[in-house]
Amino acid sequence: MGSTAVEFKPETRTLLQLVKTRRTVYGLSNTCSISGEAVEAIIKDAVLHVPSSFNTQTTRVLLLLGEEHQKLWDLTLGIMEGLVAAGSVAKEMFENNTKPKLNGFRGAHGTVLFFVEYDALAEIKKKFPTYANKFDPYALESNAMSQYLVWTALASEGLGANLQHYSPLIDTPVQKQWNIPASWKLDAQLVFGTPTGQPIEKTFAPLEDRFKVFGK
């Protein structure tokens, strides 16, 4: 669905094909077709080149591989177990749903954690008071662009990934475990590895309801 009937340069065709290739994949093994350095290179390109409002450069990233990646999901599992013990999460729900899901993430190859450095926006908020309340959402939008680029680049390398949100539950333990500055606010966790299954079928709401063009 989408841009198939139009002629493009090969690069554009590849780019648009990648947009379609990137999917949510939950079945992931701990192998990886590319090196840790290659994953790092993708992330560094995202951090450097993905745009941010007024070039404020607010995105921060933590890459966890191997045992460090497993630590993250052990830590998350421990927090969820604490919630079960406290009665805030039903034991049955945890055993049948949450625990297998978290163990699935743990069994993947790595996790990319995306943070926003909102404190870096203090000056620009003062400089442009009219837009002061817009800079935080802009920073999150920029962060999401990095998430999308990394996800798509990993898909281009044949890797599968899924995007998770365990903040604020894991914020403090993550900060302590990996000595992360308190000003880095966690947004998302991109879990990746070799796909062991297919993405689920995706449905599309009609484009006619979602896109308009005038002046053609």
Q: Which residues form the interface with ligand FMN (CB under 6 A)?
A: 23-24, 162-165, 199, 202
The pair of three-digit structure tokens given for residue 20, joined into one six-digit string:
């379609």
Q: Is 46:95 a contact under the CB 8 Å cutoff?
A: no
The smaller minimum CB distance to ligand FMN, of residues 17 and 24, is found at 24
The smaller minimum CB distance to ligand FMN, of residues 62 and 124, is found at 62
Please, what is the minimum distance in Å from the beta carbon of residue 7 to ligand FMN? 26
Please, what is the minimum distance in Å from the beta carbon of residue 37 to ligand FMN? 26
Name 39's Cβ contacts closer than 8 Å, sequence gap at least 6.
32, 63, 65, 110, 112, 154, 192
Please, what is the minimum distance in Å from the beta carbon of residue 81 to ligand FMN? 20
Which letter, b or e, does each residue of 168-180 get, where b requires 16 or more Cβ atoms within 10 Å of its Cβ? ebbbeebbeeeeb
The smaller minimum CB distance to ligand FMN, of residues 59 and 164, is found at 164
The smaller minimum CB distance to ligand FMN, of residues 125 and 196, is found at 196
Q: Where are the alpha helices (DSSP H) in the chain?
A: 10-21, 36-49, 66-85, 91-93, 99-106, 122-127, 135-156, 171-177
Please, what is the minimum distance in Å from the beta carbon of residue 179 to ligand FMN? 25
3-state SS, residue 195: strand
> How far apart, in Å, do the first and last CA atoms of the chain sit?
21
Q: Is 92:102 a contact under the CB 8 Å cutoff?
A: no
The smaller minimum CB distance to ligand FMN, of residues 18 and 122, is found at 18
Please, what is the minimum distance in Å from the beta carbon of residue 215 to ligand FMN? 30
Please, what is the minimum distance in Å from the beta carbon of residue 191 to ligand FMN? 9
The smaller minimum CB distance to ligand FMN, of residues 56 and 162, is found at 162
The pair of three-digit structure tokens given for residue 56, joined into one six-digit string:
């404020």
